Structures are given as structure tokens and as C-alpha cells.
Amino acid sequence: MPAPAQVREVATHCPYCALQCAQTLGAPDEAATASGAPVSVAGRDFPTNRGGLCRKGWTSGVVLRAPDRLVAPLARDAAGDLRAAGWDEALDRVAAGIRAAQERYGPESVAVFGGGGLTNEKAYALGKFARVVLRTPYVDYNGRFCMASAAAGAIRAFGVDRGLPFPLADLGGACAVLLLGSNLAETMPPAVAHLAGARAAGGLVVVDPRRSATAALTEDGAGLHLAPVPGTDLALLLGLLHAVLAEGLADEAYLAQRTTGAADVRRSVAAWWPERTEAVTGVPADDVRAAARLLARAAPHAGGAGAYVLTGRGVEQSTQGTATVTAAINLALALGLPGRRGSGYGAITGQGNGQGGREHGQKADQLPGYRKIDDPAARAHVAGVWGVAPDALPGPGVPAVELLRRCGTPDGPRVLLVHGCNLVVSAPDAQRVRERLAALDLLVVCDVVPSETARMADVVLPVTQWAEEEGTMTSLEGRVLRRRRALPPPEGVRTELEVIGALAARLGTPTGFPTDPREVFGELARASAGGVADYSGVTYARLEAGEALHWPCPATPDDVPDHPGTPRLFLDRFGTPDGRARMVAVDHAGPSDRLTGTRPLYLVTGRVLEHYQSGAQTRRVPALAAAQPEPYVEMHPWLADRLGLADGELAEVASARGTAVAVTRVTPMARPDTVFMPFHWPGEGSANRLTTDATDPVSGMPEFKVATVDVRAAGTGQEP
């Protein structure tokens, strides 16, 4: 009888969202691991999750045993089939394809697309590889689909982009929270505990066109649910600010001392009285005034316990996403919230390392440390760390949507390397993305499972999962966290650092790409030194000793104590040259898709409790797949009756981009003029077949959240 497996407990963090809930993994010994023994998961006490996990977190160990786990490289043969290949064969083929494209078309013929789930070390190495080895400006990542508008708005107002410039636990002391476009109860369930104080005080205000699980938290006197017409969140914020100013509820001393631009903003919202706001948004004027008064009573200048304004993807994934974030910040500034303990503005980061991924080089216009790539001083500093001439670094690239549009075109990239992203499910106007990827000379995908994008690739490289690697992540609070290896990867699987290093060597750069995460992090810290996101005082040794380091955390001289990190930004000044927050006047224009006689309904998209992003991981967890097995289209009973659709029947949803088919789900949660589809599934039920790739002119964020559609019983519609 074999001896029972020995289990080692490893403290780490959840592989999914930016809440980065603390976990303890029960890792079986090597022999048991080789036989596929399960990995146990337990919640660990931590400020963000307080020992709790969501269903995805509790079942995260199951993904480590996915039956279709990639364990060998795959290469497409002459017959068009993916077959197993050795590592040398696969890497040689990738390197040869890159060299051939660059010799014929130049450095810009190769592009890199990263992911918000990569560790800081991998994100840093990928950005360096693109700029030093490939010398291409074409690098961006799926964080462009996540935090781009929030980042652009925060930089414009505060000079610094950190999702939450305060610890999440600070929310618990506030008696009012305005939450716009975020369904926390389903996307980050452990975060809901931090809203308890606001709910108890009757001060939770949720803005969402659906009666989502989070909106339902406002029931029984816990607050207000404001349900605007899709795409009118900006108008609602302008109306709220109008009410604050018109009723004398603003913190005038704060505005005079800590902001610029208040007079222009005051003039710009004069036309958005609550009745006009109601006419545009559908939110009753009395509710607009009630929400404004509720927030103002909680503000510090009124003697309140504190208030927060928080934005999420529901209002940011829009062609006016940056303007909407700016309006939310203007409202928070008028109430005197940012830069005060117990109050503030923040954006709810979505992906696990969406924050760190953009700080250290995956974004088209940024170098490590959140430095701008077109800043000569920034180029000189980073080039010095990398050992190259500043002039050798390429200039800014283009945002993700534009990068994908150019793939396979005569003047665009002919080779695309994809890391940590399932583009053909998660990108907008997904059918066009599929066409662009098919037009490439070479598509290379690094992944852990055969995702829908990997199945299109010419070469697939199997890489390690979260519990099989060391590294760091940066949470939605700007907290740098250790990811610890709990078990070895399957034989034949490599880390992405090893992949990047091997490709760099084949392409003529044999040094400068270490595979030890500690060594990579040390270089990242040096590259970030002096930047906005300064990690130079963060070390693995300090992270082993505790988990409380928030950036900026600069290095200190040997005779000076270590910097403690910065949990709360802006207490003394904002990150602008004069230290004041900049208020910027914005106005509402509406979404790019407009209602017509042929497309008379709004479509909004989002997530469900059981699944994450493209579903490539969670659809492989039997318990999660059984709970939410298929795509659906949610609609109000009145609308279903008008369309002649019953619960459980197949509905066809058509936009100007394409058509999707999904099961009808009838619920009063929906607005009568709006249908909702989750975006976790591929194929004919893919919601992103319908979404538009129109983008925000400032951030490059695509307008995922609003499209206009026609809905009818499946089989009776017409192609758009």
C-alpha cells in the first residue's frame, strides 16, 4: 500500500482578479503531483479578502489539473494540423519567422500582445524583449481593454495612475460609496464586505442599467440604485455635480486650495440640471438630487464619516470612457474627497496584474516605472539599465485595437506573439480579429491550455501556471505581492522567462534576459527607480517578511531605514507639477452605436460569478461549468413577451458587426430596452461578435459596454 502523500502548505494569492485574495495551497509531494493528486485551496487572512474567496478562488486548484493541459510545443504542419514538436524545433521556427519578416518588411513587421495576468517579471521581460531584441514599437496588452480609460483620467487629473490610491479596507469606515459600472458582488465577491459601513448608513449608491447582484445590495434602506440608459453614465455624473454645486454642497475651501480648473467645470455643468439629466439618462431628477445630498453629507467638510467615488469597466469601456472617469473625479474633487484619509476616488482594476502589467512596459507608450517612452530622460534612464543606446529604443506604438486592425495588412505586423490573452474571445468585434489573425504570416501563442486563440496559432508554446512559478503581482491597491511556487510544472513545460530568453538568444541577444524571477525583479526595480511607479525599494526579501509594500517605494541609502511604501497617495499633494489636482470640463456625446429602426435595443455585456474573462480557465472547472454551462441573453419579461420569446428558447442577437445565438433568460433584473450577455464563451454565443471596436480617442479603450442590436427567435433573423 503506497504511503500517503505529504502535503506542503504554500502561502500565495489567487490567479484571477486584481483583488488578489490571499490563499494557502496544499501542495502534494512530487510523487503525488506526478499522479495528478489534487491541490487543496484555503482562504488566508489578508486585508482585502479577510480569509474569504469566491467560487473561482475556491476551485482555482482544479485548473492545475486541466485534462487538456498543454505539455509540449505544437507546430502547424504542411497539412494545416497542429502536431507535437520539440522545444528546439518550435523555438527555431519562431525565430526563423521573425527574422524572415524583419528582413523583408523591417522591425515593425513583428508585434507583441501581452496580458494583464502576467507577473511583473514576465511583463517587464516581454516589454524589454519587444524593444531591445525585436526593436518594434508594436507592443500592447489586454489591459487596454480593462484600465485604459481609468488610467488616462487619473493621469490627467492627479498625475498618477494607481487603481485605488488607498487601501481597500479604508472603504469600511465610509458612510457613503458611489459605485459606477462595477458588479462587485459577482466579479469580486470578497470586496463586498468593505461596503458594509456604507450599507449600514444607507449610503451605498450603485449605478448600473441592470438590477445586478451589487445593485440589489441597496435594498431595504441600504442606499440607492440608479439605472441609467446604457451609455449615459457621463450625463448622470454631470447632473450629480450640477446638484452638488447648485445646492451649495461643494467643499469650496478644498477646491480653492487643492485644485485648478474648478471655474471651467462649474460653467460646463450649469446646463445639466437634474430634470435635463433625467430626460437623457432616465434617472429621476429626485434621485439625482438625493444621491448628491447623500454623498455631500458623508464628505469630510460636512463632518461626515467619509465618502468614496469608484468607477469600473461598465462606465469606462466606452468611446467617452476617459471623459466619464474625468467627470467622476470632478465630482469627487468638488466634494473634497481625494487625498483625505477615509475618502477618495478610485478605479476598480479588473485583471490580476492589470496594475503592474501596465507599469513596467507592456503598454504601447510606456517604459518601466510608468515612464513615458517619448520622454528623453526616461529613455536614457531605462536604456542605461538595459545597456543599449537610447536612440536604439523604438518610439510609441499604437493601442491594442489599432494594433489588431493592422495585423496581416501590407504595412502592418506580419508576425504576432501572444502571451496570456485569448484574443478571439475577449477582443471587440471578434470576427474581424479572427480574420486579422488568420492573415498573419506567423501567429505564436504562449498558453497553458488550448484556448481558442491557441488553436489558430502556427506555433503554441506551453508555459507554467500561477502555482508553478515564482514572481510578483501588483493588486488593485498598488500593493506588491509575492506569487510562490507550490508545485512543479508538468515535464516539458517552461516558464515564459525561459521562452523569452531562448528567443532572445536565437535572435542575437544571448545576454540580458535572465530566467530567475528574483534577478529579473532586481533589474525591474532599478529600471523603475525615480519613476512614478518606483519599485526600487522593494525586494523579494522584504516581500517575504511581509505583504504591506505599496508603490511608490523608493530605495534608500544604506544608513537610512527602508522606505515603508505608500498605502495612501495624495495626502500632501497630487502628482502634478504644482501639486494640485486638475479639473477638466467634459460633456456628454453618447455611444458610437445609436438606436435605429433595425437595431432598436441596447446590448450591455459583463461577467458572471462563475467565470473569468474569456473563460479559458473557468470553463475547464467542472463545478463552474455546470453552474453556468452556456451563454445566454438576459431580457426583461415585457421585452421577452413583445419578442415572443420564452425562458430557455434560443434567441438571435444581431448588431452591425455580426450575429450571436444564445439561450433566453427572462428576468426583471433587466431594463425593458436592454439585453445583457456575458462574454465568457466562444463560438456562436460569443458576445464579442456583437461589440464594436470604436475606441475612446484619449485612452484607446474599446466600447465594449454599449452596442445596439436586434433580437428575435433564432433562425428568423437576417445577417447584418
Q: 288, 321, 347: which is the final residue of a domain?
A: 347
Q: Are residues 320 and 393 in the same domain?
A: no
Strands (E), 5-64: 7-13, 22-28, 40-43
Structural domain count, the chain: 4
* DSSP symbol at 277: H
Question: Does 471 reside within a domain?
Answer: yes
Report the percentage of the chain scoring pLDDT > 70. Answer: 98
Helix (H) or strand (E) holding 235, with range, is helix 233-246
Q: What pLDDT, on a 0 to 100 scale, did the predictor assign at position 546?
A: 81
Q: What pLDDT digit, counting tens, does each position of 653-687 carry?
A: 999 999 999 999 999 999 999 999 999 999 999 99
Listed residue (213, 207, 212) closest to 227, CA to CA: 207
Question: Does 622 reside within a domain?
Answer: yes
Residue 291 has pLDDT above 80, yes or no: yes
Q: Which ranges of 551-691 does DSSP label H, i.e. alpha helix? A: 622-627, 637-643
Question: Does 693 reside within a domain?
Answer: yes
Listed residue (66, 107, 614, 589) closest to 327, CA to CA: 589
Domain ranges, residue 99 = 74-145+353-515
Q: Residue 153: give its domain's CATH number.
A: 3.40.228.10
Alpha carbon distances (Å) from 607 to 438, 599, 657? 28, 23, 21
Helix, strand, or coil (residue 374): coil
Q: Residue 45: give its domain's CATH number.
A: 2.20.25.90
What is Dmax (Cα atoms) for the chain?
81
Q: What pLDDT digit, counting tens, does each position of 631-658 carry?
A: 999 999 999 999 999 999 999 999 999 9
* DSSP symbol at 550: B
Query: Which grid coordinates are listed for 499?
Result: 521562452
Q: Are residues 80 and 38 in the same domain?
A: no
Residue 297 has pLDDT above 60, yes or no: yes
Question: Does 664 reside within a domain?
Answer: yes
Q: What pLDDT digit, counting tens, does each position of 312-364 carry?
A: 999 999 999 999 999 999 999 999 999 999 999 999 988 989 899 889 989 99
Q: What distance in Å separates the CA atoms of residue 373 and residue 377, rounded to the nearest whole number?
A: 9
Q: Are residues 408 and 452 in the same domain?
A: yes
The pLDDT-based confidence of 182 (bands split at 50, 70, 90) is very high
Q: Are residues 173 and 278 in the same domain?
A: yes
Q: What pLDDT, on a 0 to 100 scale, did the predictor assign at position 720?
A: 42
Least confident of 17-31, 392-406, 431-445, 613-627: 17-31
Its pTM stands at 0.96
Q: Residue 382: give its domain's CATH number.
A: 3.40.50.740
Listed residue (497, 503, 504) closest to 459, CA to CA: 503
Question: Does 392 reside within a domain?
Answer: yes
Phi, psi of 43 (to 5 degrees): -70, 150
Q: What pLDDT, on a 0 to 100 scale, did the predictor assign at position 1?
A: 43
Q: 296, 319, 347: which is the final residue of a domain?
A: 347
Question: Does 526 reside within a domain?
Answer: no
Residue 136 has pLDDT above 70, yes or no: yes
Q: What distance in Å separates the CA atoms of residue 184 and residue 206, rounded to the nearest whole number?
A: 10
In sequence order, the 6+-apart residues with CB closer than 8 A to the CB of 67 are 620
Q: Are residues 190 and 294 in the same domain?
A: yes
Q: At what angle do helices 233-246 and 285-298 cross, to 10 degrees?
A: 60
Q: Are residues 222 and 340 in the same domain?
A: yes
Q: Are residues 343 and 371 in the same domain?
A: no
Q: What pLDDT, on a 0 to 100 scale, did the predictor assign at position 30?
A: 67
Q: Are residues 156 and 141 in the same domain?
A: no
Question: Does 270 reside within a domain?
Answer: yes
Q: Are residues 44 and 106 in the same domain?
A: no
Q: Are residues 19 and 48 in the same domain?
A: yes
- The CB density around residue 526, as the number of other CB atoms within 10 Å, is 18
- Cβ-in-10-Å burial (0-12, 13-18, 19+) of 530 comes to middle
The pLDDT-based confidence of 33 (bands split at 50, 70, 90) is low
For the chain, what is the mean pLDDT? 95
Helix, strand, or coil (residue 266): helix
Q: Are residues 21 and 107 in the same domain?
A: no
Q: What pLDDT, on a 0 to 100 scale, did the predictor assign at position 5?
A: 61
Q: Are residues 474 and 445 in the same domain?
A: yes
Q: What pLDDT digit, counting tens, does each position of 1-16 carry?
A: 444 567 899 999 999 9
Query: Which grid coordinates are listed for 331?
Result: 465630482
Question: Does 548 reside within a domain?
Answer: no
Q: 17, 36, 63: which is the final residue of a domain?
A: 63
Residue 435 has pLDDT above 70, yes or no: yes
Helix, strand, or coil (residue 293): helix
Q: Residue 619: give its domain's CATH number.
A: 2.40.40.20
- Arithmetic mean of pLDDT, 51-60: 96
